């Protein structure tokens, strides 16, 4: 229901802080251009920049067949004979793979094949590798600058005339399914340029590379990659004959991108395949390295659903160690340079992993904090301005805030204010420049279909995201708050979510907050559970499954809301509702960076500040494997894009620049010292009730863990005795 304006005399605390902030202009590097994010001007800025811009999320995949890969540099053994270990052998069709990619990108699906052949290039008979390219799926012709390279579906493009000997079975197959997120001009991946380079890209560019207002992220990246040297994996860059491209490498370009991404890129001139994912793994990319059982090299955003439940033929009691078919690709940039082996005419590829070249990014990956252990009096002493100067030199995300009158304001001076500024800009990057609606859509229809939703528990992290989203999103839009419960109104997250909506309505009375109540029952989710098991693959514990089911149901947005049944809004009725928002804000990364888990308190008690810091560092460095890949797959399966404001590069850098005791104080009780800095941010936003809520994981807050324990272990007590969270589930027993 629409909330009324606050009456005179009501709480004005947040009004004063908002009044101060409305005169600030927040200049961001979102997509390479500046946007005004003052509360008064944000609507004009968004409409100016976004109408022609196009952003898209994708499901991407690669199938490499008939090619021998050398993996020695990666310490992956693809040639040793079985049986130790035995890899799961899965068979799935291309249609199976396309179907699961289409769920991530329902707006378009494209595919391109690269075929290899050998060609004699000189009188001596020395053979060179040559490539032919064919579009094999429905889609528009490639958009090239040279008509010579344009081709329609099913036609083959070759680079030069001459006699070639096709190499049987040697091919690359690139697939891309697109979810259109903003703008009116659509794209179909894979993309190809005039030099026959091919790109499938699943990501957003929030900074680091320049993207014009009217350009698409993937197309801008394609141009930047085209400008790269084809010798960029050589030891001596000075051997490159192209002076213009010598200083640009693909590794440099990808290292600069701020934002989540995964990529597959064919660099034709160098006969090199590039692939990888961002440094924190915010976009899923699974890999199957070649094995004796299955010699293909595969990459995919998600595992085909049908492959999860095939019988591997292994006896349970055989004592054989079975290794999952799919793995999470470790974060980083990889290349495969192809060549023809003279002995048998087989195409071989040398796989290499490359180091990040962006020094600021390397600091984040290494997770270096300047001050960890406090000296006498540090904790009780207020944050000193000398520390602020040190922070400004360490972090690129701070800047002077300029008022509308042109006068410079004093810079923010407390850690919470500094972090609030970084978080606000992170939200702006992820929610502004966004136009999913056609120009003909009425204003009332816009209000009904809010573009951004929040995975909402009513806890500290989701409340901060909601309050900041209110500042960044046009007031005409409603905001869907997606809350899942396996115990109706009695689940802790449902209780805190309802309380959270009341607090949000107090500080943002003009926004319409829609609490979408998504109710579920474990006994009714047999087919859904089977589907989620394939999505979380290769994760295979009960905890992963419980979290995956909760995320998948929440992101689907099928639930209930309360609407007014009369004009005076005195009576309300519960009606069926489905959230149509394509962007879903998620609070991942807040607990890892601010010591929000119980194990952080345990480590602190065992080894003090140093051991706590090491545990937090470990959490961030493994978040790609334990959390983000799984979460991305479960959310994207509903045609939604997960965005993680707490994992913005500048937010991470800001938190690392503070002494550890400014971030957390685990001498204080739960709900006070843990995530200390975020609790202070909440108070700055006027969220006094949310600022003291203890941490509660989604599997416990939604009560899915309790219901799962009862079903699979008989009781919570039995599950706890078995450490159910880390126990690997049995496919048959889960589905019985």
Residue 477 has pLDDT above 70, yes or no: yes
pLDDT of residue 415: 95
pLDDT of residue 39: 38
pLDDT of residue 383: 64
> Which residues are registered as beta bridge partners of 388?
none
Say which DSSP state 17 is in.
Answer: H
Query: How many residues in the chain?
Result: 736
Say which DSSP state 240 is in.
Answer: -
**128 φ/ψ angles, rounded to the nearest 5 degrees:** -120, 155
d(CA 701, CA 106): 32
pLDDT of residue 146: 35
Burial of 79 (0-12, 13-18, 19+ CB in 10 A): middle
pLDDT (average), residues 648-664: 96
The answer to whether domain 59-79+91-139+165-229+247-307+324-356 and domain 419-431+449-711 are alike in fold is no
Domain boundaries, the chain: 59-79+91-139+165-229+247-307+324-356, 419-431+449-711
| Burial per residue of 160-175, b for 16 or more beta-carbon CB atoms within 10 angstroms, e otherwise | eeeebeebeebbbbbb
> Which residues are registered as beta bridge partners of 247?
none
Residue 537 has pLDDT above 90, yes or no: yes
CA 608 to chain centre: 32
pLDDT of residue 293: 83
The pLDDT-based confidence of 241 (bands split at 50, 70, 90) is low
pLDDT of residue 236: 42
- Rounded to the nearest integer, the mean pLDDT of the chain is 79
pLDDT in tens, 36-64: 333 343 433 333 333 344 566 789 999 99
- Containing H/E element for 465? helix 460-472
Class of the CATH domain delimited by 59-79+91-139+165-229+247-307+324-356: alpha beta
Which contacts of 727-735 are long-range, i.e. CB under 8 A and separated by 24 or more positions?
727/541, 727/542, 728/540, 728/541, 728/542, 729/533, 729/540, 729/541, 729/542, 729/545, 731/308, 731/309, 731/533, 734/529, 734/533, 734/545, 735/526, 735/529, 735/530
Percent of the chain clearing pLDDT 90 (strictly above): 51
The pLDDT-based confidence of 451 (bands split at 50, 70, 90) is confident
Cα-Cα end-to-end distance for the chain: 42
Class of the CATH domain delimited by 419-431+449-711: alpha beta
In Å, how far are 117, 148, 154, 173, 536 from 132, measured between CA atoms? Answer: 8, 14, 12, 12, 36
pLDDT in tens, 335-353: 999 876 655 668 888 899 9
Residue 522 has pLDDT above 70, yes or no: yes
pLDDT in tens, 8-24: 334 433 332 333 333 22
Residue 729 has pLDDT above 60, yes or no: yes
d(CA 627, CA 123): 57
More confident residue, 465 or 179: 465
The pLDDT-based confidence of 571 (bands split at 50, 70, 90) is confident
Give me 123's structure tokens.
Answer: 């009188």
pLDDT in tens, 265-294: 999 999 999 999 999 999 999 999 998 888
Q: Under 8 Å CB-to-CB from 284, ≥6 apart: which residues?
A: 262, 277, 301, 302, 328, 628, 629, 630, 632, 633, 636
d(CA 324, CA 76): 14
d(CA 78, CA 291): 5
pLDDT of residue 397: 38
Give me 621's structure tokens.
Answer: 């460095």
pLDDT in tens, 77-124: 444 333 445 556 667 888 999 999 999 999 889 999 999 887 766 566
On the question of a cis peptide bond just before residue 538, with omega within 30 degrees of 0, the verdict is yes
pLDDT in tens, 345-395: 688 888 999 999 999 999 999 999 989 999 877 776 666 544 444 444 343
């Amino acid at each position: 229901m629409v909330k009324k304006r606050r009456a005179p005399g009501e709480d004005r605390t947040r009004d004063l802080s908002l009044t101060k902030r409305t005169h600030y202009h927040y200049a961001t590097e979102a997509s390479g251009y500046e946007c005004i994010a003052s509360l008064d001007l944000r609507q004009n800025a968004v409409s100016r920049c976004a109408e022609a811009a196009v952003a898209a999320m994708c499901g991407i995949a690669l199938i490499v067949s008939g090619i021998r890969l050398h993996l020695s540099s990666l310490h992956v053994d693809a040639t040793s004979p079985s049986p130790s270990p035995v890899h799961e052998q899965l068979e799935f069709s291309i249609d199976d793979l396309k179907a699961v990619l289409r769920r991530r990108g329902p707006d378009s699906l494209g595919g391109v094949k690269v075929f290899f052949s050998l060609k004699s290039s000189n009188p001596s008979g020395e053979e060179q590798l040559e490539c032919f390219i064919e579009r094999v799926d429905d889609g528009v012709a490639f958009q090239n600058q040279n008509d010579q390279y344009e081709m329609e579906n099913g036609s083959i493009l070759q680079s030069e005339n001459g006699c070639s000997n096709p190499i049987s079975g040697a091919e690359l197959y690139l697939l891309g399914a697109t979810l259109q997120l903003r703008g009116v001009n659509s794209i179909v991946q894979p993309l190809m340029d005039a030099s026959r380079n091919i790109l499938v890209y699943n990501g957003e560019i929030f900074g680091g590379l320049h993207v014009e207002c009217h350009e698409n992220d993937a197309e801008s990246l394609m141009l930047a990659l085209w400008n790269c040297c084809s010798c960029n994996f050589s030891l001596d860059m000075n051997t490159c004959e192209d002076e213009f491209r010598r200083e640009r490498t693909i590794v440099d370009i990808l290292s600069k991108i701020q934002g989540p991404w995964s990529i597959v890129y064919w660099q034709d001139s160098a006969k090199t395949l590039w692939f990888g994912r961002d440094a924190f793994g915010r976009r899923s990319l699974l890999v199957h390295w070649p094995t004796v059982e299955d010699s293909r090299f595969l990459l995919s955003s998600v595992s085909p659903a049908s492959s999860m439940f095939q019988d591997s033929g292994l006896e349970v009691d055989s004592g054989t160690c079975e290794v999952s078919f799919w793995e999470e690709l470790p974060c980083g940039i990889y290349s495969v340079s192809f060549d023809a082996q003279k002995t048998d005419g087989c195409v071989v590829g040398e796989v290499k992993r490359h180091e990040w070249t962006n020094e600021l990014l390397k600091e984040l990956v290494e997770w270096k904090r300047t001050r960890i252990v406090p000296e006498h009096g540090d904790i009780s002493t207020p944050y000193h301005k000398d520390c602020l100067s040190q922070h400004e030199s360490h972090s690129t995300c701070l800047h002077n805030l300029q008022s509308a009158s042109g006068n410079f304001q004093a810079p923010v001076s407390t850690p919470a204010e500094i972090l609030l500024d970084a978080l606000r800009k992170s939200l702006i990057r992820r929610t502004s420049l966004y136009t999913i609606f056609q120009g003909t859509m009425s204003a009332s229809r816009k209000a009904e279909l809010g573009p951004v939703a929040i995975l909402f528990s009513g806890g500290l992290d989701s409340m901060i995201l909601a309050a900041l989203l209110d500042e960044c999103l046009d007031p005409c839009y409603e905001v869907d708050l997606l809350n899942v419960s396996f115990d109706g109104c009695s689940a802790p997250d449902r209780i805190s979510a309802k309380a959270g909506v009341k607090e949000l309505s107090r500080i943002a009375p003009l926004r319409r907050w829609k609490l979408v109540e998504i109710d579920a029952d474990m006994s009714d989710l047999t087919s859904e559970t089977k589907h989620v098991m394939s999505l979380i693959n290769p994760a295979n514990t009960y905890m992963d499954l419980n979290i995956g089911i909760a995320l998948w149901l929440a992101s689907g947005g099928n639930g209930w809301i309360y609407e007014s049944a009369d004009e005076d809004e005195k009576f309300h009725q519960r009606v069926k509702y489905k959230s149509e928002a394509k962007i879903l804000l998620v609070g991942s990364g807040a607990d890892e960076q601010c010591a929000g888990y119980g194990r952080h308190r345990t480590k602190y008690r065992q080894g003090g500040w140093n051991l706590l810091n090491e545990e937090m560092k470990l959490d961030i460095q493994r978040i790609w494997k334990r959390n983000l890949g799984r979460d991305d797959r479960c959310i994207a399966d509903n045609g939604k894009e997960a965005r993680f404001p707490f994992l913005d590069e500048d937010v991470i850098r800001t938190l690392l620049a503070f002494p550890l005791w400014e971030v957390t104080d685990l001498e204080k009780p739960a709900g006070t010292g843990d995530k200390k800095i975020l609790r202070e941010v909440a108070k700055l936003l006027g969220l006094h009730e949310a600022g003291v809520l203890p941490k509660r994981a989604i599997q416990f807050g939604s009560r899915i863990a309790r219901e799962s324990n009862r079903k699979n272990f008989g009781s919570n007590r039995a599950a706890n005795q078995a450490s159910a969270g880390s126990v690997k589930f049995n496919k048959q027993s889960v589905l019985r």
